[in-house]
Amino acid sequence: MPLILDGNRVRDQIKAECRPRVERIVAHAGRAPGLAVVLVGNNPASEVYVRNKTKTAADLGMHSETITPSASMTTDQLLDLVRELNARPEIDGILVQLPLPGHIDSQRILLAVAPEKDVDGFHPCNVGLLSTGRPGLRPCTPAGVIQILKRYEIPIAGRNTVVVGRSDIVGKPMAMLLLQENATVTICHSRTRDLPDVCRTAEILVAAIGRPAMITAGYITPGAVVIDVGMNKVESRAEAERIFDPARLADFDRRGSLLVGDVHPGDMARAASAYTPVPGGVGPLTIAMLMQNTIDSAERRTGLC
């Protein structure tokens, strides 16, 4: 039987480690670490993510604010809001929830966040620190993947790893973090020739391409560790039949949709020696690492490290 890598379990471990750090900051600085989340407009999926983030912050004793400007806000108005948050001493982390409405220049907004408060790890300064192996705020999802591997004692050094996806948010930083752990890393994407053949070279396969159940049995060498970063909603009955077994199809018929990762769940369970399920794998770690980044920022800004 393959080992199921439980992200909820690892999340709870990280949260337990965060609580005494929060208490130490409060004792030292007279305030809790502060996180500001900016949610522009009314995106239902983003609203769920933000609620989970603020709930986790409250559970850890942190200060959090959710700022919800109208979708009609302009780029310049949002820039002014980010600058105000940059200047507030009690705010240690700023997260601008993506995606932003199409008329807003997302790149200008992300560049405006002070690098020391960029708890998403997207600012070019933090990307540069990551690429040169210096301490800094790391993108939350790739950092969470490293935590899963380490806490389940899965060796990384010297192993052949393949990352499917080259996004700035997951694929590229994932590759850099694996390199820092001394893995041999191949980055693939939609234009990679003979993609299944390349994926089968992986002892650790990280799927982050954003296509539901695209990675099937032909991509997975038996015994590989498979990390499924994808989170896709399946709403087509025909697509559901391709992906899910009869029990899950019954769930689909009852709910009208189901979540699936970038890896075919049945093929992954049959071929892998260990894998992250969707949901319940990498997802919970993203929020846990966001909290850890905010605490890291607070410790630096209050002189504790």
Write down the catalytic residue from 53, 147, 292, 296: 53
- Model pLDDT for residues 174-202, shown as the tens digit of each residue: 999 999 999 999 999 989 999 999 999 99
| pLDDT bucket at 143, cuts 50 / 70 / 90 | very high
Query: Does one domain contain both 94 and 193?
Result: no
Instruction: Name the residue among 50, 51, 58, 55 with its Cα closest to residue 22.
Output: 58
Q: How far apart are CA 21 and CA 32, in angstroms?
A: 10
Indicate the pTM of the whole model.
Answer: 0.95
Domain count, the chain: 2
Residue 292 falls in the annotated catalytic set: no
Q: Are residues 186 and 89 in the same domain?
A: no
Q: Are 46 and 39 in contact (CB under 8 A)?
A: yes
Query: Residue 40 maps to which CATH number?
Result: 3.40.50.10860
Q: Which of 92, 118, 120, 267 is catalytic?
A: 120
Please tell me the distance from the alpha carbon of residue 291 to that of residue 17, in angstroms, as a whole number. Answer: 11
In a domain, 100, yes or no: yes
For residues 130 and 286, give the distance between their C-alpha atoms in angstroms, rounded to a whole number.
17
CA 120 to each of CA 116, 140, 143, 262: distance values in angstroms, whole numbers, following the listed order? 11, 6, 11, 22
Annotated active-site residue 194? The verdict is no
At 26-61, the pLDDT tens digits run 999 999 999 999 999 887 778 888 889 999 999 999
Domain range enclosing 94: 30-114
118 included as an active-site residue: no
Section 100-105 average pLDDT: 94
pLDDT in tens, 221-271: 999 999 999 999 999 999 999 999 998 999 999 999 999 999 999 999 999
Mean pLDDT of the chain: 95
Q: Are residues 109 and 152 in the same domain?
A: no
Catalytic entry in 92, 97, 118, 147: 97
